[in-house]
Structure 1
Amino acid sequence: MTFQRARTDEQRTQRRRQILDTAAAMLREMPVAELSLNALSRRACLAKANVLRYFESREAILLELLDTEIQEWIRELDRTMSPVGGSVTERGDQLADVLAVSLAARPVLCDLLSAQGSVLERNISTDLAIGHKHAARRSLSALQSLIIRDLPELGDAGASALIETTLLMAMAAWPCSHPAEAMKAAYAADPGLAAMRVNFVDVVRRTAAVAISGLIARQHDTDLFRP
Protein backbone atom coordinates (compact mmCIF):
# COMPACT_ATOMS: atom_id res chain seq x y z
CA MET A 1 0.00 0.00 0.00
CA THR A 2 1.46 3.33 -1.07
CA PHE A 3 0.84 6.30 1.16
CA GLN A 4 1.40 9.90 0.15
CA ARG A 5 1.41 12.19 3.12
CA ALA A 6 -0.91 15.17 2.93
CA ARG A 7 1.33 18.21 3.06
CA THR A 8 -1.08 21.14 2.89
CA ASP A 9 -4.07 22.06 5.02
CA GLU A 10 -6.34 21.40 2.05
CA GLN A 11 -4.84 17.93 1.53
CA ARG A 12 -5.15 17.13 5.23
CA THR A 13 -8.79 18.23 5.20
CA GLN A 14 -9.44 16.05 2.14
CA ARG A 15 -7.80 13.05 3.82
CA ARG A 16 -9.89 13.52 6.96
CA ARG A 17 -13.01 13.85 4.79
CA GLN A 18 -12.09 10.63 2.99
CA ILE A 19 -11.86 8.78 6.30
CA LEU A 20 -15.09 10.26 7.65
CA ASP A 21 -17.01 9.54 4.43
CA THR A 22 -15.76 5.96 4.48
CA ALA A 23 -16.84 5.49 8.09
CA ALA A 24 -20.26 7.01 7.35
CA ALA A 25 -20.75 4.62 4.42
CA MET A 26 -19.81 1.65 6.59
CA LEU A 27 -22.28 2.68 9.30
CA ARG A 28 -25.06 2.52 6.74
CA GLU A 29 -24.16 -1.17 6.36
CA MET A 30 -23.32 -2.20 9.92
CA PRO A 31 -23.82 -1.08 13.54
CA VAL A 32 -21.24 0.98 15.40
CA ALA A 33 -20.13 -2.08 17.39
CA GLU A 34 -18.97 -3.84 14.22
CA LEU A 35 -16.96 -0.98 12.74
CA SER A 36 -13.31 -1.63 13.55
CA LEU A 37 -10.34 0.59 12.80
CA ASN A 38 -8.76 -2.22 10.76
CA ALA A 39 -11.86 -2.61 8.59
CA LEU A 40 -12.14 1.16 8.17
CA SER A 41 -8.48 1.40 7.13
CA ARG A 42 -8.92 -1.30 4.51
CA ARG A 43 -12.06 0.32 3.09
CA ALA A 44 -10.35 3.72 2.95
CA CYS A 45 -7.27 2.15 1.29
CA LEU A 46 -5.02 3.45 4.04
CA ALA A 47 -2.82 1.74 6.58
CA LYS A 48 -4.15 1.83 10.13
CA ALA A 49 -1.16 3.94 11.21
CA ASN A 50 -1.97 6.45 8.49
CA VAL A 51 -5.59 6.76 9.63
CA LEU A 52 -4.24 7.53 13.09
CA ARG A 53 -2.26 10.44 11.63
CA TYR A 54 -5.58 12.23 11.22
CA PHE A 55 -7.67 10.90 14.12
CA GLU A 56 -6.39 9.80 17.50
CA SER A 57 -8.68 6.75 17.66
CA ARG A 58 -11.70 5.01 16.14
CA GLU A 59 -13.83 6.75 18.75
CA ALA A 60 -12.55 10.16 17.63
CA ILE A 61 -13.78 9.41 14.10
CA LEU A 62 -17.17 8.29 15.37
CA LEU A 63 -17.55 11.33 17.62
CA GLU A 64 -16.93 13.65 14.69
CA LEU A 65 -19.50 11.72 12.69
CA LEU A 66 -21.95 12.07 15.58
CA ASP A 67 -21.44 15.84 15.62
CA THR A 68 -22.02 15.95 11.85
CA GLU A 69 -25.16 13.80 12.06
CA ILE A 70 -26.64 16.00 14.79
CA GLN A 71 -25.96 19.16 12.78
CA GLU A 72 -27.64 17.63 9.71
CA TRP A 73 -30.62 16.61 11.85
CA ILE A 74 -30.95 20.15 13.16
CA ARG A 75 -30.83 21.58 9.63
CA GLU A 76 -33.54 19.13 8.59
CA LEU A 77 -35.72 20.14 11.55
CA ASP A 78 -35.19 23.79 10.71
CA ARG A 79 -36.45 23.16 7.16
CA THR A 80 -39.40 20.95 8.09
CA MET A 81 -40.66 22.28 11.43
CA SER A 82 -43.20 25.05 11.16
CA PRO A 83 -45.43 26.62 13.80
CA VAL A 84 -48.90 25.08 13.88
CA GLY A 85 -52.11 26.33 15.42
CA GLY A 86 -54.08 24.72 18.17
CA SER A 87 -53.80 24.29 21.90
CA VAL A 88 -50.56 23.80 23.77
CA THR A 89 -51.33 20.08 24.02
CA GLU A 90 -51.97 19.78 20.28
CA ARG A 91 -48.80 21.66 19.41
CA GLY A 92 -46.83 19.65 21.96
CA ASP A 93 -48.07 16.38 20.49
CA GLN A 94 -47.13 17.58 17.01
CA LEU A 95 -43.64 18.50 18.19
CA ALA A 96 -43.23 15.12 19.90
CA ASP A 97 -44.23 13.37 16.68
CA VAL A 98 -41.77 15.38 14.58
CA LEU A 99 -38.90 14.64 16.95
CA ALA A 100 -39.63 10.90 17.10
CA VAL A 101 -40.19 10.41 13.37
CA SER A 102 -37.18 12.50 12.33
CA LEU A 103 -34.89 10.57 14.68
CA ALA A 104 -36.18 7.21 13.43
CA ALA A 105 -35.38 8.32 9.88
CA ARG A 106 -31.70 8.72 10.88
CA PRO A 107 -30.50 5.26 11.94
CA VAL A 108 -26.82 6.23 11.87
CA LEU A 109 -27.48 9.13 14.26
CA CYS A 110 -29.50 6.92 16.60
CA ASP A 111 -26.87 4.17 16.60
CA LEU A 112 -24.11 6.68 17.36
CA LEU A 113 -26.20 8.26 20.13
CA SER A 114 -26.85 4.87 21.71
CA ALA A 115 -23.09 4.20 21.81
CA GLN A 116 -22.05 7.69 22.90
CA GLY A 117 -21.62 7.25 26.64
CA SER A 118 -20.50 3.64 26.72
CA VAL A 119 -18.19 3.56 23.67
CA LEU A 120 -17.55 6.82 21.82
CA GLU A 121 -16.48 8.88 24.84
CA ARG A 122 -14.15 6.25 26.33
CA ASN A 123 -10.95 6.16 24.24
CA ILE A 124 -10.34 9.86 23.67
CA SER A 125 -8.08 12.59 25.01
CA THR A 126 -9.20 15.39 27.29
CA ASP A 127 -8.70 17.96 24.52
CA LEU A 128 -10.91 15.98 22.16
CA ALA A 129 -13.54 15.53 24.87
CA ILE A 130 -13.60 19.29 25.47
CA GLY A 131 -13.97 20.03 21.76
CA HIS A 132 -16.73 17.46 21.40
CA LYS A 133 -18.70 18.80 24.36
CA HIS A 134 -18.43 22.38 23.08
CA ALA A 135 -19.80 21.19 19.72
CA ALA A 136 -22.60 19.34 21.52
CA ARG A 137 -23.47 22.45 23.52
CA ARG A 138 -23.75 24.51 20.32
CA SER A 139 -26.01 21.87 18.80
CA LEU A 140 -28.20 21.74 21.90
CA SER A 141 -28.53 25.52 21.81
CA ALA A 142 -29.66 25.37 18.18
CA LEU A 143 -32.19 22.63 19.02
CA GLN A 144 -33.45 24.68 21.95
CA SER A 145 -34.09 27.66 19.66
CA LEU A 146 -36.07 25.50 17.22
CA ILE A 147 -38.23 24.05 19.97
CA ILE A 148 -38.98 27.44 21.51
CA ARG A 149 -39.88 28.73 18.06
CA ASP A 150 -42.61 26.08 17.82
CA LEU A 151 -43.58 25.86 21.48
CA PRO A 152 -42.58 29.07 23.29
CA GLU A 153 -44.57 28.02 26.36
CA LEU A 154 -41.74 25.67 27.31
CA GLY A 155 -39.23 28.46 27.88
CA ASP A 156 -35.47 27.98 27.78
CA ALA A 157 -35.26 25.60 30.74
CA GLY A 158 -38.21 23.51 29.55
CA ALA A 159 -36.85 23.24 26.01
CA SER A 160 -33.46 22.15 27.35
CA ALA A 161 -35.08 19.54 29.59
CA LEU A 162 -37.18 18.24 26.69
CA ILE A 163 -34.10 17.79 24.50
CA GLU A 164 -32.30 15.94 27.28
CA THR A 165 -35.27 13.65 27.94
CA THR A 166 -35.92 12.92 24.27
CA LEU A 167 -32.30 12.14 23.41
CA LEU A 168 -31.82 9.95 26.47
CA MET A 169 -34.92 7.97 25.56
CA ALA A 170 -33.70 7.66 21.97
CA MET A 171 -30.35 6.34 23.23
CA ALA A 172 -32.09 3.66 25.29
CA ALA A 173 -34.87 2.80 22.85
CA TRP A 174 -32.75 2.39 19.72
CA PRO A 175 -30.90 -0.82 20.68
CA CYS A 176 -34.04 -2.23 22.32
CA SER A 177 -36.03 -1.64 19.13
CA HIS A 178 -33.37 -3.39 17.03
CA PRO A 179 -32.95 -6.75 18.78
CA ALA A 180 -30.49 -9.48 17.87
CA GLU A 181 -31.55 -12.28 15.54
CA ALA A 182 -32.27 -14.65 18.45
CA MET A 183 -34.72 -12.18 19.96
CA LYS A 184 -36.38 -11.57 16.60
CA ALA A 185 -36.84 -15.33 16.25
CA ALA A 186 -38.31 -15.51 19.75
CA TYR A 187 -40.86 -12.80 18.96
CA ALA A 188 -41.78 -14.57 15.72
CA ALA A 189 -42.08 -17.96 17.40
CA ASP A 190 -44.24 -16.75 20.28
CA PRO A 191 -46.77 -14.06 19.31
CA GLY A 192 -47.47 -13.52 22.99
CA LEU A 193 -44.00 -12.00 23.32
CA ALA A 194 -44.34 -9.66 20.35
CA ALA A 195 -45.84 -6.89 22.50
CA MET A 196 -42.55 -6.74 24.43
CA ARG A 197 -40.65 -5.57 21.37
CA VAL A 198 -40.00 -1.83 21.61
CA ASN A 199 -41.38 0.40 18.86
CA PHE A 200 -38.86 3.24 18.65
CA VAL A 201 -41.18 5.91 17.24
CA ASP A 202 -43.99 5.10 19.66
CA VAL A 203 -41.87 5.16 22.79
CA VAL A 204 -39.92 8.31 21.86
CA ARG A 205 -43.08 10.12 20.77
CA ARG A 206 -44.91 9.16 23.97
CA THR A 207 -41.98 10.13 26.18
CA ALA A 208 -41.58 13.51 24.48
CA ALA A 209 -45.33 14.26 24.62
CA VAL A 210 -45.56 13.41 28.32
CA ALA A 211 -42.40 15.40 29.04
CA ILE A 212 -43.79 18.45 27.24
CA SER A 213 -47.05 18.32 29.20
CA GLY A 214 -45.26 17.85 32.50
CA LEU A 215 -42.66 20.53 31.86
CA ILE A 216 -45.27 23.11 30.93
CA ALA A 217 -47.44 22.21 33.92
CA ARG A 218 -44.48 22.60 36.27
CA GLN A 219 -42.57 25.38 34.55
CA HIS A 220 -42.70 27.54 37.68
CA ASP A 221 -41.28 24.76 39.87
CA THR A 222 -37.73 26.02 40.37
CA ASP A 223 -36.60 22.76 41.99
CA LEU A 224 -37.48 20.87 38.81
CA PHE A 225 -35.09 22.91 36.68
CA ARG A 226 -32.29 23.28 39.20
CA PRO A 227 -28.93 22.03 37.76
Structure 2
Amino acid sequence: MPTFQRARSEEQRELRRRAILDTTAAMLDETPVGEVSLNELSRRVGLAKSNVLRYFESREAILLELLDRAWKQWADDLPALLDREIAADAPVGERAERLVDVLVRSLEGRRVLCDLFSAQAGVLERNVSAEVAGRWKRTALGNVDAMAALLRARLPELGDAAVVFTAQVVMMVGAVWTHARPSAAMLDAYRADPALAAYRLDFAPALRDVLTTLLTGTLARTATA
Protein backbone atom coordinates (compact mmCIF):
# COMPACT_ATOMS: atom_id res chain seq x y z
CA MET A 1 0.00 0.00 0.00
CA PRO A 2 1.52 3.38 -1.01
CA THR A 3 1.88 6.20 1.49
CA PHE A 4 1.94 9.86 0.50
CA GLN A 5 3.35 12.99 2.03
CA ARG A 6 1.26 16.15 1.77
CA ALA A 7 1.09 17.35 -1.83
CA ARG A 8 2.65 20.80 -2.11
CA SER A 9 2.80 21.38 -5.87
CA GLU A 10 0.30 21.11 -8.69
CA GLU A 11 2.28 18.19 -10.09
CA GLN A 12 2.07 16.36 -6.76
CA ARG A 13 -1.65 17.04 -6.52
CA GLU A 14 -2.14 15.63 -10.01
CA LEU A 15 -0.19 12.52 -9.01
CA ARG A 16 -2.53 12.06 -6.02
CA ARG A 17 -5.59 12.45 -8.23
CA ARG A 18 -4.23 9.94 -10.71
CA ALA A 19 -3.42 7.47 -7.94
CA ILE A 20 -6.96 7.76 -6.57
CA LEU A 21 -8.49 7.24 -10.03
CA ASP A 22 -6.21 4.33 -10.89
CA THR A 23 -6.82 2.64 -7.55
CA THR A 24 -10.59 3.00 -7.95
CA ALA A 25 -10.35 1.62 -11.49
CA ALA A 26 -8.52 -1.41 -10.13
CA MET A 27 -11.27 -1.88 -7.53
CA LEU A 28 -13.91 -1.78 -10.27
CA ASP A 29 -12.12 -4.64 -12.01
CA GLU A 30 -12.81 -6.71 -8.89
CA THR A 31 -16.18 -5.55 -7.63
CA PRO A 32 -19.42 -3.88 -8.81
CA VAL A 33 -19.85 -0.11 -8.59
CA GLY A 34 -22.22 -0.41 -5.64
CA GLU A 35 -19.59 -2.17 -3.53
CA VAL A 36 -16.79 0.37 -4.03
CA SER A 37 -16.34 2.26 -0.75
CA LEU A 38 -14.29 5.29 0.22
CA ASN A 39 -12.96 3.45 3.26
CA GLU A 40 -11.46 0.66 1.17
CA LEU A 41 -10.25 3.10 -1.47
CA SER A 42 -8.50 5.19 1.20
CA ARG A 43 -6.83 2.09 2.61
CA ARG A 44 -5.60 0.97 -0.79
CA VAL A 45 -4.35 4.35 -1.95
CA GLY A 46 -2.63 5.10 1.36
CA LEU A 47 -4.50 8.31 2.20
CA ALA A 48 -6.95 9.16 4.95
CA LYS A 49 -10.53 9.40 3.71
CA SER A 50 -10.51 13.13 4.52
CA ASN A 51 -7.47 13.53 2.27
CA VAL A 52 -9.13 11.62 -0.58
CA LEU A 53 -12.01 14.07 -0.30
CA ARG A 54 -9.61 16.96 -0.82
CA TYR A 55 -9.14 15.78 -4.39
CA PHE A 56 -12.66 14.54 -5.13
CA GLU A 57 -15.73 15.74 -3.31
CA SER A 58 -17.31 12.28 -3.12
CA ARG A 59 -17.06 8.66 -4.20
CA GLU A 60 -19.52 9.46 -6.98
CA ALA A 61 -17.33 12.25 -8.32
CA ILE A 62 -14.46 9.77 -8.67
CA LEU A 63 -16.68 7.27 -10.45
CA LEU A 64 -17.99 9.90 -12.87
CA GLU A 65 -14.43 10.64 -13.96
CA LEU A 66 -13.83 6.93 -14.46
CA LEU A 67 -17.05 6.67 -16.46
CA ASP A 68 -15.78 9.43 -18.73
CA ARG A 69 -12.44 7.62 -19.11
CA ALA A 70 -14.09 4.30 -19.98
CA TRP A 71 -16.60 5.95 -22.33
CA LYS A 72 -13.85 7.74 -24.27
CA GLN A 73 -11.86 4.51 -24.56
CA TRP A 74 -14.93 2.78 -25.98
CA ALA A 75 -15.42 5.58 -28.50
CA ASP A 76 -11.73 5.47 -29.46
CA ASP A 77 -11.97 1.74 -30.19
CA LEU A 78 -15.18 1.91 -32.23
CA PRO A 79 -13.96 3.41 -35.55
CA ALA A 80 -11.71 0.46 -36.40
CA LEU A 81 -14.48 -2.00 -35.53
CA LEU A 82 -17.08 -0.10 -37.53
CA ASP A 83 -14.81 0.28 -40.57
CA ARG A 84 -14.02 -3.43 -40.55
CA GLU A 85 -17.66 -4.50 -40.35
CA ILE A 86 -19.59 -1.90 -42.35
CA ALA A 87 -19.22 -1.46 -46.10
CA ALA A 88 -20.10 2.05 -47.20
CA ASP A 89 -21.92 0.81 -50.30
CA ALA A 90 -24.03 -1.81 -48.48
CA PRO A 91 -27.82 -1.33 -48.28
CA VAL A 92 -29.04 0.71 -45.34
CA GLY A 93 -30.65 -2.30 -43.66
CA GLU A 94 -27.41 -4.27 -43.75
CA ARG A 95 -25.38 -1.33 -42.45
CA ALA A 96 -27.88 -0.80 -39.63
CA GLU A 97 -27.75 -4.47 -38.64
CA ARG A 98 -23.96 -4.51 -38.60
CA LEU A 99 -23.82 -1.26 -36.65
CA VAL A 100 -25.96 -2.74 -33.89
CA ASP A 101 -23.88 -5.91 -33.91
CA VAL A 102 -20.65 -3.92 -33.51
CA LEU A 103 -22.08 -1.89 -30.63
CA VAL A 104 -23.24 -5.00 -28.78
CA ARG A 105 -20.04 -6.97 -29.31
CA SER A 106 -17.91 -3.97 -28.32
CA LEU A 107 -19.78 -3.75 -25.01
CA GLU A 108 -19.78 -7.43 -24.08
CA GLY A 109 -16.23 -7.23 -22.76
CA ARG A 110 -16.65 -3.84 -21.07
CA ARG A 111 -18.22 -4.87 -17.77
CA VAL A 112 -17.01 -1.78 -15.91
CA LEU A 113 -18.37 0.64 -18.51
CA CYS A 114 -21.76 -1.09 -18.56
CA ASP A 115 -21.87 -1.13 -14.76
CA LEU A 116 -21.06 2.59 -14.61
CA PHE A 117 -23.69 3.37 -17.27
CA SER A 118 -26.26 1.46 -15.19
CA ALA A 119 -25.40 3.55 -12.11
CA GLN A 120 -25.07 6.92 -13.85
CA ALA A 121 -28.45 8.58 -13.29
CA GLY A 122 -29.62 6.73 -10.19
CA VAL A 123 -26.38 6.78 -8.19
CA LEU A 124 -23.43 8.67 -9.63
CA GLU A 125 -25.23 11.93 -10.36
CA ARG A 126 -26.78 12.08 -6.87
CA ASN A 127 -24.05 12.75 -4.30
CA VAL A 128 -22.27 15.55 -6.16
CA SER A 129 -22.38 19.33 -6.16
CA ALA A 130 -24.05 21.40 -8.86
CA GLU A 131 -20.58 22.28 -10.17
CA VAL A 132 -19.54 18.65 -10.58
CA ALA A 133 -22.96 17.69 -11.96
CA GLY A 134 -22.82 20.47 -14.56
CA ARG A 135 -19.27 19.63 -15.56
CA TRP A 136 -20.18 15.97 -15.91
CA LYS A 137 -23.28 16.71 -18.00
CA ARG A 138 -21.26 18.86 -20.40
CA THR A 139 -18.68 16.08 -20.66
CA ALA A 140 -21.37 13.45 -21.27
CA LEU A 141 -23.00 15.56 -23.97
CA GLY A 142 -19.61 15.93 -25.64
CA ASN A 143 -19.16 12.17 -25.56
CA VAL A 144 -22.61 11.68 -27.08
CA ASP A 145 -21.85 14.16 -29.87
CA ALA A 146 -18.53 12.46 -30.66
CA MET A 147 -20.13 9.02 -30.82
CA ALA A 148 -23.06 10.31 -32.86
CA ALA A 149 -20.60 11.60 -35.46
CA LEU A 150 -19.01 8.13 -35.64
CA LEU A 151 -22.35 6.43 -36.17
CA ARG A 152 -23.67 9.01 -38.63
CA ALA A 153 -20.51 8.61 -40.76
CA ARG A 154 -21.39 4.91 -41.23
CA LEU A 155 -25.14 5.43 -41.39
CA PRO A 156 -25.77 8.90 -42.88
CA GLU A 157 -29.50 8.10 -43.02
CA LEU A 158 -29.63 8.85 -39.28
CA GLY A 159 -29.11 12.54 -39.98
CA ASP A 160 -29.68 14.81 -36.99
CA ALA A 161 -31.35 11.93 -35.13
CA ALA A 162 -27.91 10.37 -34.57
CA VAL A 163 -27.45 12.40 -31.38
CA VAL A 164 -30.74 11.32 -29.82
CA PHE A 165 -30.16 7.73 -30.93
CA THR A 166 -26.69 7.70 -29.33
CA ALA A 167 -28.02 9.07 -26.05
CA GLN A 168 -30.73 6.42 -26.10
CA VAL A 169 -28.13 3.70 -26.71
CA VAL A 170 -26.33 4.73 -23.52
CA MET A 171 -29.58 4.65 -21.53
CA MET A 172 -30.52 1.25 -22.94
CA VAL A 173 -27.10 -0.21 -22.16
CA GLY A 174 -27.49 0.77 -18.51
CA ALA A 175 -31.06 -0.49 -18.28
CA VAL A 176 -30.42 -3.87 -19.94
CA TRP A 177 -27.23 -4.38 -17.91
CA THR A 178 -29.18 -3.88 -14.67
CA HIS A 179 -31.95 -6.29 -15.63
CA ALA A 180 -29.46 -8.89 -16.88
CA ARG A 181 -27.88 -9.04 -13.40
CA PRO A 182 -30.67 -10.20 -11.09
CA SER A 183 -30.38 -10.27 -7.31
CA ALA A 184 -29.63 -13.44 -5.36
CA ALA A 185 -33.29 -13.62 -4.36
CA MET A 186 -34.42 -13.38 -7.96
CA LEU A 187 -31.96 -16.07 -9.02
CA ASP A 188 -33.44 -18.32 -6.32
CA ALA A 189 -36.92 -17.54 -7.65
CA TYR A 190 -35.83 -18.47 -11.17
CA ARG A 191 -34.43 -21.77 -9.96
CA ALA A 192 -37.61 -22.52 -8.04
CA ASP A 193 -39.96 -21.70 -10.91
CA PRO A 194 -38.92 -22.58 -14.49
CA ALA A 195 -41.80 -20.49 -15.82
CA LEU A 196 -40.15 -17.38 -14.33
CA ALA A 197 -36.68 -18.42 -15.50
CA ALA A 198 -37.84 -18.00 -19.09
CA TYR A 199 -37.94 -14.24 -18.48
CA ARG A 200 -34.32 -13.98 -17.35
CA LEU A 201 -32.39 -11.66 -19.67
CA ASP A 202 -29.08 -12.46 -21.30
CA PHE A 203 -27.27 -9.14 -21.80
CA ALA A 204 -26.03 -9.36 -25.39
CA PRO A 205 -29.15 -10.83 -27.07
CA ALA A 206 -31.45 -8.53 -25.09
CA LEU A 207 -29.39 -5.45 -25.93
CA ARG A 208 -29.25 -6.47 -29.61
CA ASP A 209 -33.05 -6.74 -29.74
CA VAL A 210 -33.55 -3.39 -28.02
CA LEU A 211 -31.03 -1.51 -30.17
CA THR A 212 -32.35 -3.08 -33.37
CA THR A 213 -35.87 -1.93 -32.55
CA LEU A 214 -34.60 1.52 -31.57
CA LEU A 215 -32.53 1.97 -34.72
CA THR A 216 -35.25 0.64 -37.01
CA GLY A 217 -37.74 3.09 -35.55
CA THR A 218 -35.28 5.98 -35.72
CA LEU A 219 -34.51 5.32 -39.39
CA ALA A 220 -38.21 5.01 -40.21
CA ARG A 221 -38.92 8.38 -38.61
CA THR A 222 -36.03 10.13 -40.35
CA ALA A 223 -37.10 8.68 -43.71
CA THR A 224 -40.53 10.25 -43.41
CA ALA A 225 -39.49 13.54 -41.82
Residue in 2 aligned with 1:181? 184
Determine if contact 1:114/1:174 at 8 Å carries over to the other structure.
yes
What is the Cα deviation at residue 3 of structure 1?
4.3
Determine if contact 2:70/2:113 at 8 Å carries over to the other structure.
yes
What is the Cα deviation at residue 210 of structure 1?
1.6
Residue in 1 aligned with 2:100? 96
Instruction: Return the letter of the residue paired with 1:26.
Output: M
Residue in 1 aligned with 2:71? 70
Unaligned runs of 5+ residues in structure 2 are none
Under a length normalisation based on structure 2, what TM-score does the superposition of the two structures give?
Answer: 0.92
Instruction: Return the letter of the residue paired with 2:219.
Output: I
Structural mapping, 1:6-85, within 5 Å: 6-82=7-83, 83-84=86-87, 85=89
1:27-62: CA deviation from partner (whole Å, max 9, x where unpaired): 111111111111111111111011011101111101
- Residue 204 in 1 paired to residue 211 in 2? no
The whole-number CA distance in structure 2 between the counterparts of 1:48 and 1:133 is 26
Instruction: Return the letter of the residue paired with 2:140.
Output: A
State the SS of the aligned residue for 2:103: helix
> Which consecutive segments of 4 or more residues in structure 1 shift more than 6 A?
none
The whole-number CA distance in structure 2 between the counterparts of 1:174 and 1:220 is 31
Structural mapping, 1:115-126, within 5 Å: 115-126=119-130
Determine if contact 1:96/1:206 at 8 Å carries over to the other structure.
no
Determine if contact 2:3/2:46 at 8 Å carries over to the other structure.
no
1:166-218: CA deviation from partner (whole Å, max 9, x where unpaired): 11111111111111223223334443332211121112211221222211211
State the SS of the aligned residue for 1:109: helix
Residue in 2 aligned with 1:161? 164
Residue in 2 aligned with 1:129? 133
Please identify, of 96-105 and 23-32, the stretch whose mean Cα deviation from structure 2 is larger: 96-105
The whole-number CA distance in structure 2 between the counterparts of 1:186 and 1:125 is 40
The whole-number CA distance in structure 1 between the counterparts of 2:3 and 2:162 is 51
The whole-number CA distance in structure 2 between the counterparts of 1:80 and 1:220 is 26
The whole-number CA distance in structure 1 between the counterparts of 2:3 and 2:112 is 31
1:137-172: CA deviation from partner (whole Å, max 9, x where unpaired): 1111110110011111111x2211221221111111
What is the Cα deviation at residue 2 of structure 1?
6.0
What is the Cα deviation at residue 104 of structure 1?
2.3
Determine if contact 1:114/1:170 at 8 Å carries over to the other structure.
yes
Under a length normalisation based on structure 1, what TM-score does the superposition of the two structures give?
Answer: 0.91
Could you tell me which of 145, 149, 153 is aligned with 1:149?
A: 153
Instruction: Return the letter of the residue paired with 2:6.
Output: R
Residue in 1 aligned with 2:216? 213
State the SS of the aligned residue for 1:219: helix
CA RMSD of aligned residues (A): 1.7
Change (3 A) 1:219 1:6: same
Unaligned runs of 5+ residues in structure 1 are 223-227
The whole-number CA distance in structure 2 between the counterparts of 1:164 and 1:55 is 27
What is the Cα deviation at residue 106 of structure 1?
0.8
Determine if contact 1:162/1:208 at 8 Å carries over to the other structure.
no
Q: How many residues align?
A: 221
